[in-house]
Structure 1
Amino acid sequence: MSRPLLAAACRILAARGLADGFLGHVSQRAGDELLLVRCRGPMERGLAFTEPADIRLVTFDGGPGAPGELDGYVPPNELPLHAEVLRRRPEVAAVVHAHPAAVVAADLAGIAIRPVVGAYDIPGAALARGGVPVYPRGVLVRDRELAGEMTAAMGDRPVVLLRGHGLTSAAPSVEQAVLQAVSVDRIAALSLAVRSAGGTLADLPDADLDQLPDLGAGFTVAVAWRHELARIGDEPVHTMPLGSLP
């Protein structure tokens, strides 16, 4: 577990325009029925200014995970979104919820996240090829019933779009959950640009997608994460050695 890591993840989402206001949050599993999550404090300024002190240990039901953890802080309204994914998917250790404008616009325009790019974003192409489902309700996911609906729509996929709302990304690490969200946003923005230019979107042929190499987590996660940290002027922050990142 790492509060600095989650704080950096929030700042990266803001820098990438996926959560550039004060809405959106990142969480990390911290034990049975416990998670670290970005909370709002008395001096809330938005995700771009998240500090480790804004990351608090809470129970899945929103109570303090240790004495004093919520003094002056409030968990996000959509904490059930994080908790339900962690409850139902034991392989997941981190959840990102963000509001990328391009993702929302593409979905509302009827544009699915599809493998329309290849070597431009190899991890993104693989993610899109497997499918990115949509939760069709534009609601605030603030209780277990709604979170259960969203998680059911997500299935076993790493990312689900939330219509008129944003996306949820789940992964074995905070780094991967953030990078997945960045890839989906990138594909959404490119798809909108193609359609706006009068073009027609088409999936890459299977033969081309089959040729895309697995570059390994040391490149697609570790190096990509160092790049994201450098973009916001941060030093590397990790919860595990780079070679062991999933």
Structure 2
Amino acid sequence: MTDVDALRHEIARACRVLAARKLAAGILGHISVRIDEEHLLVRCRGQRERGLAFTEYADIRLVDLDGNGDLDGGYRVPNELPLHTEVLRARPDVRTVIHAHPPAVVAADLAGIAIRPIIGAFDIPGTRLAAGGIPVYPRGVLVRDRRLAAEMVDAMGDHPVVLLRAHGLTAVGDSPAQAVLRAISVDSIARLSLAVTGAGGTLVDLPDEDMAELPDLGSGFNEATAWRHEVARLDEASAVCSGPVGFLL
């Protein structure tokens, strides 16, 4: 396989992980990766659309920043392609952009609950991410043109994640794995926040002295090992679903 071929498989798998983690339901959500200054690979819509959980190699297409490119076979770019391309235009540090619709993240934001560093060793990368602040784009719109996408990018600033009110989130990273893992961490904190407040508790940020004690376990553990786990979960679920007829699920 060429590097682009391998990357198409990687993006398709990351899309399936997003769906398996229930961060994007049905036909919602997409992932892109920068190829060069003018081109990106992105999950496109096709005539055989079955949703994010069933993303295939063929669904990942090479297009330019205006959405023109390899769209043979009835494929078309997602309506929110500008969400990806405006981030890539404005953020040369970014290689991957993901867009997802995690229900807990949307619910927490609508309830006025910010993503805060309420946890510690439970999820160290997530704690550090939350401590840096998670900005919010306060419009519940489909980010379908450059004007709206520029508004979202302005709200995002140089942060790795931005919440989209009444909509979802956008996360970025060096790779599909890093961006998806960031989204998973934000979703986890949102779920815990809703559980705590729903039980009548009060959210309290981790004390500075505890934050200082959290070790940096390195990308080999935080990203590489964590991503192997996500892929293994995905593979196991696929194996169970494709098991022999009559197998007790």
Same fold (TM over 0.5): yes
> 1:70 deviation in Å?
3.8
Task: Tell me which of 16, 21, 29 is aligned to 2:21.
Answer: 16
Deviations 1:4-47 (A, max 9, x none): 10000100000000012111100000112210000011110000
Alignment of 1:111-190 (within 5 A): 111-190=113-192
Alignment of 1:164-243 (within 5 A): 164-233=166-235
1:145 aligned partner, one-letter code: R
1:47 matched residue in structure 2: 52
Instruction: Give aligned-pair identity as a percent.
Output: 68
Q: Secondary structure at the match of 2:235?
A: coil
In the TM superposition, structure 1's runs of 4+ consecutive aligned residues that sit over 4 Å from their partners are: none
Counterpart Cα distance in 2 of 1:174 and 1:228: 12
Structure 2 residue 39 is matched with structure 1 residue 34: yes
2:203 aligned partner, one-letter code: L
Counterpart Cα distance in 2 of 1:224 and 1:69: 33
2:104 aligned partner, one-letter code: A
Q: Secondary structure at the match of 1:120?
A: coil
Q: Secondary structure at the match of 1:5?
A: helix
Q: Secondary structure at the match of 2:83?
A: helix
> 1:217 deviation in Å?
0.3
Name the CA shift for 1:55/1:113 in 2 (closer, same or farther; >3 Å). same
Counterpart Cα distance in 2 of 1:89 and 1:28: 13
1:60 matched residue in structure 2: 65
> 1:84 deviation in Å?
0.5
Deviations 1:42-63 (A, max 9, x none): 1100000001110000111111
Aligned-residue CA RMSD (Å): 0.9
Counterpart Cα distance in 2 of 1:50 and 1:126: 31
Counterpart Cα distance in 1 of 2:168 and 2:72: 27
Q: Secondary structure at the match of 2:122?
A: helix
Tell me if structure 2 keeps the 8 A contact 1:56–1:70: no
Counterpart Cα distance in 1 of 2:30 and 2:99: 5
1:40 aligned partner, one-letter code: R
Q: Secondary structure at the match of 2:77?
A: coil
What is the TM-score normalised by the length of structure 1?
Answer: 0.92
Q: Which runs of 5+ in 1 are unaligned?
A: 235-246
Counterpart Cα distance in 2 of 1:22 and 1:35: 21
Q: Identify the range of structure 1 (172-181 vs 98-107) with the bigger mean alpha-carbon deviation.
A: 172-181
Count, aligned residues? 231
Q: Secondary structure at the match of 1:57?
A: strand
1:243 matched residue in structure 2: none
Larger radius of gyration: 2
Counterpart Cα distance in 2 of 1:121 and 1:96: 21
